[in-house]
Amino acid sequence: MISMPDRIPTVKKTESVLQTKNLNVYYGDALALRNINLEIPKNNITAFIGPSGCGKSTLLRCFNRLNDRIENFRLKGSVSYYQQNLYDSGVDPVAIRRRIGMVFQKPNPLPMSIYENIAFGPKSIGLKKNLDELVERSLIQVDLWKEVKNRLRKSALILSRGQQQRLCIARTLAVQPEAILMDEPCSALDPISTLTLEEILQELKQHYTIVLVTHNMQQASRLSDMTAFFNVEFSENHRRVGYLVEYDETPMIFLNPAQSLTRQYIRGRFG
């Protein structure tokens, strides 16, 4: 008989920053995500895991209205930032994206200098004072300052991939968000750069709420406080529909999940 370890809580009991209620997401008439109910706690790292196509990225993008750019996207139910439904009429998606930043899978620095990459966002929202300090502070937060302080005016494109990804995170931090959404931020990085980034995220969660999509189960288990496991099933008309199987503190998901499907997935039985 397998004995299960005791629960080891890591999550800080905090208020929830983001919340979905009875959320259904559609692309055209195809349901992509079914009835998602979850709350993202403040100043923690929450990981989304699950097989490809189960809707992790779709859900992540709902949190800062990035799907609005997809023509046939629509949703039912609610996605709230504190008590504000982000999809209410009158809510400005640009303002949301400032509060809730996004970091993508592939580092995407702008074709300009290291300095300008960081200063660009603040300048575009009118934060023009003390830019030098803001750039320095943002680069320090991602542990990049020492590496680039003598070449701030050089192109960001000369940096390594790991450095570019840290630069992109610094760029997100420079507009002073509260939450950061990350869609597989390490999947284009080597193992050392990945570990460096994970250490930085552990520091950043003191000040920011982080939601992370990852295919890397080890990463979810060592880095996150909360883990949401999603799966896909087939609808009556044979379309793939994602749903939330289980959401709990990460040690529970990895050591003592409530659902046998979760256990099978984390043991690599499918997906």
Q: Which residues bind ligand ADP (CB under 6 A)?
A: 27, 32, 50, 52-58, 70, 240, 242
CB of 25 to ligand ADP, least distance (A): 8
Backbone angles phi, psi at 45, to 5 degrees: -105, 125
CB of 156 to ligand ADP, least distance (A): 27
**CA–CA gap between residue 156 and residue 152 (Å, rounded):** 8
Cβ-based nearer residue to ligand ADP, 86 or 148 = 86
CB of 193 to ligand ADP, least distance (A): 22
Q: Which residues contact 200 (CB under 8 A, 6 or more apart)?
A: 141, 142, 143, 166, 169
CB of 180 to ligand ADP, least distance (A): 17
Cβ-based nearer residue to ligand ADP, 55 or 122 = 55
Cβ-based nearer residue to ligand ADP, 50 or 177 = 50
Exposure string of 46-63, with b = 16+ CB inside 10 Å and e = fewer, is: bbbbbbeebbbbbbbbbb
> Residue 90 region, left (φ>0) first, then alpha (ψ -120 to 50), else beta?
left
Cβ-based nearer residue to ligand ADP, 70 or 158 = 70
